[in-house]
Structure 1
Amino acid sequence: MFWMTVARLSERYNAGERNFAGIRLYSESCRKPEVGNILNLRDVILSAIILSGADISGPNLSLINLHGAQLVGTQLSNTSLREADLSGADLTGANLANARLHKANLRGAKLIGANLTGAQLIEADLTNADLSESILCQVNLSKIKLDEECHRQILCTKALLWQTYLPDGTFISSPRYHD
């Protein structure tokens, strides 16, 4: 893993580079890279970027375009992804614990085995998303858009549901896996 500033990432992305697997982003305003610095990538377009295994926990990624991005195993905990475009993104095994995904576009996204503990998915679009084997613990799924297959996955495919609000308003208080 290596450190990179947001400005350098944008510069290299705009020059045509797409593979940034394993990077750790930090803010230009700090003297040295430290985990948890406040980053602001709001309204940035990074479609088709490869950030697999990267650590970008904590920043404001509201309105970011990560359509078709490779985010396998990426650390996105405590990140604001409000109204982000993650359609078609591969988030297999990603850590989205406590992420704020209000009105995010997750159409066709792969969230296989993703950790969504404490995530807020209010009004998110999960149509054709794959949530199999994901951890849905203390998740708010209120008013989400989903198709029948995604709904079946949430309720029937090894997803851990605990203290979770389902789209129909049902609250699951006790931990349970569905097979």
Structure 2
Amino acid sequence: MDADELLKRYCAGERNFTQVSLHLVNLSEVCLAGITLDRANLANATLSHANLSGANLTQANLTAASLWRTNLSRANLIWANLKAANMIRATLTKADLHRGNLAKADLRLANLCDADLSSANFAGADLRYANLSGANLARADLSRANLTGANLSKADLSHTNLTKAIFLKTDLSYVDLTQVDLTQVHLENCLLNGITLPEASLIKVG
């Protein structure tokens, strides 16, 4: 299926495009709100500035896709593969990314406020200045992720893997880290208002 056929059918009222192959397709700046693309192949697709709010992208393959400024608010991305995707300034507020693969994804300045990111893989992801306030990151893998300037205030980081993650001027206000291994984490110059650290923590937090 190509972009023209998809848009024609969508405009005619069709919403279910399960398992469709859209590899390398260009769907930038289009409105596909509420579309169902579960298990679709969107690898290397261009979806920049598109409106995919409320979309069903469960288990979709979005490897290396361009999602710059894409609206994915309230989208279902459970088990979706977003490895190495360009998600700079993407809107993912209240999106469900449970067990999603976002390894090495570029999420600079992305808005993930109140998103479900539990058990998601963010290993090596670039999250500089991203908004993760109120997000559920329980059991997520943030190893080697760059969180410089990110807002993690009131996020759930229970049992999260933070090995070698980069924290610089990160907002960790009111985050409970009592169930997190901080042995390889440096929290210098972070905002730590109301933070709860493990009793035996030797981490420098000045």
Whether the 8 Å contact between 1:81 and 1:102 is mirrored in structure 2 is: yes
Task: State the secondary structure of the residue aligned to 2:21.
Answer: strand
1:116 partnered with 2:102: yes
Residue by residue, what CA displacement relative to the aligned partner does 1:109-149 show, whole Å, maximum 9, x if unpaired?
Answer: 000000001101000001110000100111011001122x3
Cα displacement (A) at 1:51:
0.3
Q: Structure 2 counterpart of 1:173, which letter?
A: K
Q: Structure 2 counterpart of 1:164, which letter?
A: A
For the residues of structure 2 that align with 1:115 and 1:44, how far apart are their CA atoms?
A: 25
What is the match of residue 49 of structure 1? 35
Task: State the secondary structure of the residue aligned to 1:88.
Answer: coil
For the residues of structure 2 that align with 1:168 and 1:124, how far apart are their CA atoms?
A: 12
Whether the 8 Å contact between 2:130 and 2:149 is mirrored in structure 1 is: no
User: Pairwise mapping of residues 69-108 of structure 1 onto structure 2 (< 5 A)?
Assistant: 69-108=55-94
User: Pairwise mapping of residues 31-70 of structure 1 onto structure 2 (< 5 A)?
Assistant: 35=23, 38-70=24-56
For the residues of structure 2 that align with 1:6 and 1:127, how far apart are their CA atoms?
A: 30
Instruction: Identify the match of residue 173 of structure 1 among 148, 156, 164.
Output: 164
Cα displacement (A) at 1:161:
1.9
**Which fold has the larger relative contact order, with Cα–Cα distance below 8 Å and residues 6 or more apart in sequence?**
1
Whether the 8 Å contact between 1:159 and 1:178 is mirrored in structure 2 is: no
What is the match of residue 139 of structure 2? 158
For the residues of structure 2 that align with 1:70 and 1:59, how far apart are their CA atoms?
A: 16
For the residues of structure 2 that align with 1:128 and 1:109, how far apart are their CA atoms?
A: 8
RMSD value, Cα: 1.9
What is the match of residue 157 of structure 2? none
Task: State the secondary structure of the residue aligned to 1:23.
Answer: coil
Gaps of 5+ in 1: 26-34
TM-score for both structures, normalised by structure 1: 0.82
Cα displacement (A) at 1:163:
1.5
* Greater radius of gyration (CA): 2
| % identical aligned pairs | 36
Instruction: Determine which structure has the larger strand proportion and give its number.
Output: 1
What is the match of residue 18 of structure 2? 21
Instruction: Determine which structure has the larger helix proportion and give its number.
Output: 1
For the residues of structure 1 that align with 2:70 and 2:25, how far apart are their CA atoms?
A: 15
For the residues of structure 1 that align with 2:11 and 2:148, how far apart are their CA atoms?
A: 39
TM-score for both structures, normalised by structure 2: 0.72
Task: State the secondary structure of the residue aligned to 2:142.
Answer: strand
Instruction: Work out the number of aligned pairs and report it.
Output: 157
Q: Structure 2 counterpart of 1:14, which letter?
A: C
What is the match of residue 31 of structure 1? none
